[in-house]
């Protein structure tokens, strides 16, 4: 069954700690994306990757970092430099032919 998995579903961290959110896809998609969603708001782009070993900053990249060592995986690290890290994070991959994005179930990160 093809799809995108994100783990864990809920994550709790203390302020000042870095935390890595996992995103794995078996859809054989080249492009992958990370979004942040705050209550009552739309999705804001953090980082995106068109291909392995290449990625670009989105609109709100400060305080975040990514890697793309494998086609299937696009982990996001929320660093201690991110001032307001508590949010819902969504990972997506894009079909090259139809340009449709497919989303994972999301990770709710709470930093206290």
Partner 1 sequence: AQTVTQSQPEMSVQEAETVTLSCTYDTSESNYYLFWYKQPPSRQMILVIRQEAYKQQNATENRFSVNFQKAAKSFSLKISDSQLGDTAMYFCAFMRLYNFNKFYFGSGTKLNVKP
Q: Where does this chain bind partner 1 (CB under 8 A)?
A: 31, 33, 35, 40-45, 48, 50, 56, 58, 88, 90, 92, 94, 98-103, 105-106
CB of 16 to partner 1, least distance (A): 27
Q: How far is CA 42 from CA 45, 50, 63, 89, 112, in A?
A: 10, 22, 20, 12, 24
Pick 52 or 80: Cβ nearer partner 1: 52
Pick 80 or 102: Cβ nearer partner 1: 102
Pick 17 or 41: Cβ nearer partner 1: 41
CB of 92 to partner 1, least distance (A): 8
Residues 29-67 as b/e (b if ≥16 CB within 10 A, e otherwise) read: bebbbbbbeeeeeebebbbbbeeeeebeebeebeebbbe
């Amino acid at each position: 069954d093809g799809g995108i998995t994100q783990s864990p579903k809920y994550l709790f961290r203390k302020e000042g700690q870095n935390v890595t959110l996992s995103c794995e896809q078996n859809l054989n998609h080249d492009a992958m994306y990370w979004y942040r969603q705050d209550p009552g708001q739309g999705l804001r782009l953090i980082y995106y990757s068109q291909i392995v070993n290449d990625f670009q900053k989105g609109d709100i990249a400060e305080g975040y970092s990514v890697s793309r060592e494998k086609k299937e995986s696009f982990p996001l690290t929320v660093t201690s430099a991110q001032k307001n890290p508590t949010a819902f994070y969504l990972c997506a991959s894009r079909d090259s032919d139809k340009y449709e994005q497919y989303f994972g179930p999301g990770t709710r990160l709470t930093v206290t």
